[in-house]
Amino acid sequence: MELLEAIRTRRAIRKFKTDPVPPELIEKLLEAARWAPSSVNCQPWEFIVITDPETKKRISRAFMLGPFLNQAPLAIAVAVDRLKSTCQVQDGSIAAYAIWLAAHDLGLGACWVNPIIEFGVKRILGIPVTKRLVSVLAIGYPDEAPVHTRKKLADFVYFEKHGNKKGPIAFKE
Ligand SMILES: Cc1cc2nc3c(=O)[nH]c(=O)nc-3n(C[C@H](O)[C@H](O)[C@H](O)COP(=O)(O)O)c2cc1C
C-alpha cells in the first residue's frame, strides 16, 4: 500500500475476526516500531506481545473500556523507560502509531487503548515503575470497516501567524 494512502485509510478497528495473527506478521509490526524515530535516537521503548486470553481479559477489565481489547487476538503494550527518554509520551506514541499503520498495511486492524489506570495494567503485565505505559494496541483481522471524517484543513491551518488564513494554498472551506 502506498504510504499516503495508508495514512488516509487507517481506521480505529474495534471488531476483530477470531483468526490469530501469525507470528511473522507480529514480527513485522514490531519491526515497524523498531524503526520509529525517537528523541536523540534513545529508543526507550519496550513492547509486550500479549496473546494469552486470560491476560487480555484482565487488562480489558483494568481499562474499564469495554470488551474489544479482550476480543482482539493480539495486544501489544508500548512502554517507555522513564530514565532513557525526556520525551516519553512522544517517543512511545510514534512507535505505537508505526505499529498501527503497519497493521493496516498488512491487512490487519488495530485500535489504541488508552491506559487510563496505568498502574493496574502495569501490575498485570509486570512492568516496573521505571517504565511508563503509553499505549496498548488491540490488533487483529478487521471485522468492521468504520468510516470517519476529519475537519477541513481550512479549519486549523494558518500561515506565518496563528489566525492568518492567507497563504500560498487556498484550502477549500
Ligand atoms: C492517544 C489516543 C488514545 C485513544 N484511546 C482510545 C481508547 O481508549 N479507546 C478507544 O476505543 N479508542 C481510542 N482511540 C482511538 C480514537 O478514538 C480514534 O483514533 C479516533 O476516533 C479517530 O478514528 P480513526 O482512527 O478511525 O480515524 C485513541 C486514539 C488515540 C490517538
> Is the confidence at residue 160, as pLDDT, over 80?
yes
- As a whole number of angstroms, the distance between CA 132 and CA 138 comes to 18
CA 106 to chain centroid: 15
Q: Are 135 and 153 in contact (CB under 8 A)?
A: no
113-133 mean pLDDT: 92
Domain ranges of the chain: 3-148
State whether the beta carbon of 130 lies less than 6 angstroms from ligand 1: no
* Helix runs in 10-80, H state only: 23-34, 53-63, 68-71
CA of 166 to the centre of ligand 1 (A): 32
State whether the beta carbon of 117 lies less than 6 angstroms from ligand 1: no
CA 95 to chain centroid: 7
CA of 113 to the centre of ligand 1 (A): 7
Q: What is the pTM of this model?
A: 0.96
pLDDT of residue 65: 66
CATH architecture of the domain with range 3-148: 3-Layer(aba) Sandwich (3.40)
Beta 109-113 vs 45-50: how paired, if at all? Answer: unpaired
State whether the beta carbon of 148 lies less than 6 angstroms from ligand 1: yes
pLDDT of residue 62: 80
The candidate with the shortest Cα–Cα distance to 100, out of 125, 76, 80, is 76
Mean pLDDT of the chain: 95
